[in-house]
Structures are given as C-alpha cells and as structure tokens.
Amino acid sequence: MNINKKTVLTCLIMICLGASSVIAYAEKAANSSAPGINETIVHIEKALVDINKSDFFAANLDLKAARSSSEKITGDETVVKQASSSVIQGQLRSKEGDIKKASDELNKALILYKSLLTQ
C-alpha cells in the first residue's frame, strides 16, 4: 500500500511540473516583442523610401505608425530608448526637410531595432 501511495504522489508531481513548464513556455511566446519590432522596422523602411522621394507627408505618417508600434517593444531598455529617440529625431529632421539627417537618424534606429531581434 505504501508503494502505491508513493507512485501516485510521484505521478501527480510529474504532471504538475509538466503542466507548469508548458504554461511558462506559452507565456514566453506570448510576451515576445518580435512582431512589434518587425512592424516598426517596416514602417521605418517605408518612411526612408518616402523621405528619399521628398514625400515628407507620407514619411510623417509612417513615422507616426512606427512610434505607435514601438510602444509594444520590450527588451534592453537603453536600446529601445535610443531607437525611439532616433525615430523622433528622424521625424523632426523630416519635418524640416533635411533628407540626409533624417535618413541618418532612421538608419540608426533600424540598426538598433534589428539588434533587438537577435537578443
């Protein structure tokens, strides 16, 4: 009888541990910010194309969308802040009509966001 109790107890413990590891894995996948990073990168790349065409209105719309989607991004806080700052600076330079400086800032932001994907 004692062996049966130990066997049942051991089986229950294994089931509980197995269930909790599946839940932890699902939570990790749900909290991933990769879709937000990819969306932000797409908007920044569209804005770069628009800036190079001197279509600053369309670039401004893309940069607003990039800033909105970047709010969902988690990861290294300093990198996220630097990337967001570069997007804001790029947006300001775009509004001023400075193609070179806007492109430089947005390229910095792209590099930073892409670095978050590899972490």
pTM of the predicted protein model: 0.71
Type of residue numbered 65: A
| The 3-state secondary structure of the chain, one letter per residue | CHHHHHHHHHHHHHHHHHHHHHHHHHHHHHCCCHHHHHHHHHHHHHHHHHHHCCCHHHHHHHHHHHHHHHCCCCCCHHHHHHHHHHHHHHHHHHHHCCHHHHHHHHHHHHHHHHHHHCC
pLDDT 10s digits, 11-54 = 667 776 665 555 544 444 444 577 889 999 999 999 999 999 99
pLDDT 10s digits, 43-101 = 999 999 999 999 999 999 999 999 998 888 888 889 999 999 999 999 999 999 999 99
Q: From CA 88, how far away is CA 40, in angstroms rounded?
A: 13
Q: From CA 9, how far away is CA 34, in angstroms rounded?
A: 40
